[in-house]
Amino acid sequence: MQERIVQCAIHEIESRGIRFTMSDLARRVGVSTKTLYAVFTSKEELITRIIQESIRELREREDLILHDKELDLIEKLRQLLGLLPNGFAGTNLRVWYELKRYYPMQWKLVEDFYQQEWEHVGLILDEGILAGIFRRIQLPILIQMYTGCLEQLVDQQALGKNSMTMGEALNAMIDILLGGVVRQETE
């Protein structure tokens, strides 16, 4: 029952955003609100569970990326930077803004995960620097740029200035971070 509720909640998030009601969810699951609250005592608990499961899944995907011998270092870096929970890459940035604004404790779980991800990014960068693929950079500056850009993308949604999905916005941001804006002579 818990897994069914979680899956239905993810569908609610995809279609209505994070501000769905527990009554909406109970209808989707096909149970009473009372039954829903017997399984998850609050919407916050449910969202926390979704985020924790998403983070577990992201860690598994991160491990697959790191150990995939078919991927070169550039693609590994790109994929690590672009990790998003399944089901959330196609969501509008509005969902991320709502999570940040209305569920700060759950948003903190997301922020903490993205801070921890940098250890693996640093390892890939170091390996690429030794191989002559990447130039030496200040990792703390890259982290600030990435997290600052991510925050701005989410916050700009509140102003209605961006109608991209999170996946589209993140890929565009990564293209600029990795490729810059200066045209290469070979293009």
**Residue 118: pLDDT over 70:** yes
Please say whether the beta carbons of 98 and 19 come within 8 A. Answer: yes
Give a yes or no: residue 158 inside a domain. Answer: yes
Q: Are residues 33 and 69 in the same domain?
A: no
pLDDT of residue 68: 97
The count of domains in the chain is 2
Q: Are residues 21 and 109 in the same domain?
A: no
C-alpha dihedral sign at 83, 109, 17, 150: negative
Q: How confident is the model at residue 114 (pLDDT cuts 50, 70, 90)?
A: confident
Q: Are residues 27 and 114 in the same domain?
A: no
Give a yes or no: residue 185 inside a domain. Answer: no
Contacts of 101 (CB under 8 A, 6+ apart): 158
Q: Where are the alpha helices (DSSP H) in the chain?
A: 2-16, 22-29, 33-39, 43-67, 73-81, 93-102, 104-116, 118-130, 139-158, 166-179
Q: Are residues 84 and 36 in the same domain?
A: no
CA distances from 22 to 14, 28, 47, 125, 133 (A): 15, 10, 11, 44, 50
Per the prediction, the chain carries an average pLDDT of 86
CATH of the domain at 37: 1.10.10.60
Q: Are residues 125 and 167 in the same domain?
A: yes
Q: Are residues 93 and 168 in the same domain?
A: yes
pLDDT of residue 131: 95
**pTM, full prediction:** 0.77
* 67 against 87, higher pLDDT: 67
Q: Are residues 76 and 148 in the same domain?
A: yes
Give a yes or no: residue 76 inside a domain. Answer: yes
Q: Are residues 74 and 130 in the same domain?
A: yes
In 3D space, the residue among 31, 34, 55, 36 whose CA is nearest the CA of residue 46 turns out to be 36
* Domain residue limits at 32: 1-41
Q: Are residues 174 and 127 in the same domain?
A: yes
Give a yes or no: residue 87 inside a domain. Answer: yes
Tens of pLDDT, residues 140-181: 999 889 888 877 877 765 555 556 777 888 888 899 988 888
Tens of pLDDT, residues 23-36: 999 999 999 999 99
